[in-house]
Structure formats: structure tokens, C-alpha cells
């Protein structure tokens, strides 16, 4: 837990293959040195609420961005997004939904819940990697967070 007070990006993703690609691309390109991976909805809620394994984290922790998958075990992405928007330090943090969902209802609901971006996960490795690099370039390098 030592690195919890110096997080650039929070990645909430349950698929080990997808999370490995995300972290590898961000590190390889130098876009993110301090990512935090939360691997399911329960872990994400513990982190956000400073409970469980995260009971000692700084409740005012900020990050440059959050990448959030919607289809997570235990607690779904919509509920996590709702919690992010009321979590001190992270309320105004950009949230990028990275999901396999193409449902218009999911997209609309995420924007209504103040997600900053909704990106459909490409299935091909090269396209997925390029998408992660583009996300990192924009949200971690170009975008300015107050």
C-alpha cells in the first residue's frame, strides 16, 4: 500500500489480459509511472470507501484519470462510477469508460452519471494497444486536471 498516495491513474478492470495490455502500454510508452490496478468491483469499492485492504489510504488521494470497465464482478461499473462522483479527491477526476458494451443505454447512462468518455474496447491486440496509448496521451499528458 506504500504507493497509494502517489497514483497517476486508477485502472478498474477484471480481465487479466486487458489489464496487462493497459499497464504494459502505459509503462512502455512512458505515459504512466504509477498506475493502480483494481481487479473487481468489490476491490474498487473498498478503495473508494477506504475500507478493507485500503483502510489506510489517504481519503483525499487524487489521480489524473480513472479507466473503468462496466462489466465487473461483485459491483458493476455504473455503481462504481456513482461512488467515484461522491468520493472526496476523485469527484472531479476524469473517468474513461472502457467497455465491450455497445448498448446505447449503457453509453447514455454513463454520460448521465458524468463519465468523461466512453470507449468500446477493440478486440484486436494492435487496435486495443493503440486505443490505450491514445487514452494515455490525451488524459494523462494533454488534459489538465485541477
Q: Radius of gyration of the chain from Cα atoms?
A: 14
Of the candidates 40, 44, 61, the residue with the CA atom closest to the CA atom of residue 52: 44
pTM: 0.90
What is the predicted pLDDT for the residue at 98? 95
Of the candidates 60, 80, 61, 82, the residue with the CA atom closest to the CA atom of residue 70: 80
Quick check: is 99 in a domain? yes
Quick check: is 127 in a domain? yes
Quick check: is 69 in a domain? yes
Quick check: is 76 in a domain? yes
- CATH number of the domain enclosing 28: 3.40.50.2300
What is the predicted pLDDT for the residue at 101? 86
Whole-number Å distance between alpha carbons of 41 and 37? 12
* Residue 90: domain span: 2-141
Q: How many domains does the chain contain in total?
A: 1
Alpha helices in the chain (DSSP H): 16-28, 41-49, 77-84, 104-112, 125-136
Quick check: is 10 in a domain? yes
| C-alpha grid cell, residue 140 | 494523462
Contact in structure between 73 and 126 (CB atoms under 8 Å): no
Divide the 146 residues of the chain into consecutive groups of 10 and give the mean pLDDT of each group: 68 95 92 90 93 88 90 94 90 92 92 95 93 90 78
What is the predicted pLDDT for the residue at 2? 42
Quick check: is 52 in a domain? yes
Contact in structure between 94 and 67 (CB atoms under 8 Å): no
Quick check: is 146 in a domain? no
Quick check: is 40 in a domain? yes
What is the predicted pLDDT for the residue at 116? 95
Sign (positive or negative) of CA dihedral 97, 1, 5, 43 = positive
Instruction: Name the one residue in this structure whose C-alpha cell is 475500507.
Output: 51
What is the predicted pLDDT for the residue at 115? 95
Amino acid at each position: 500500500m506504500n504507493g497509494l498516495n502517489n497514483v497517476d491513474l486508477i485502472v478498474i478492470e477484471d480481465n487479466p489480459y486487458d489489464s496487462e495490455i493497459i499497464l504494459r502500454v502505459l509503462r512502455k510508452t512512458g505515459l504512466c509511472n504509477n498506475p493502480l490496478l483494481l481487479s473487481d468491483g468489490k476491490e474498487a469499492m473498498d478503495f473508494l470507501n477506504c475500507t478493507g485492504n485500503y483502510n489506510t489510504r489517504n481519503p483525499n488521494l487524487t489521480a489524473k484519470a480513472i479507466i473503468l470497465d462496466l462489466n465487473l464482478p461483485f459491483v458493476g461499473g455504473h455503481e462504481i462510477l456513482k461512488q467515484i462522483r461522491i468520493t472526496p479527491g476523485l469527484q472531479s477526476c476524469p473517468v474513461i469508460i472502457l467497455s465491450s458494451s455497445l448498448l446505447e443505454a449503457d453509453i447514455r447512462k454513463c454520460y448521465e452519471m458524468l463519465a468523461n468518455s466512453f470507449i468500446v474496447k477493440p478486440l484486436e491486440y494492435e487496435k486495443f494497444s493503440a486505443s490505450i496509448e491514445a487514452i494515455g496521451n490525451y488524459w494523462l499528458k494533454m488534459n489538465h486536471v485541477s
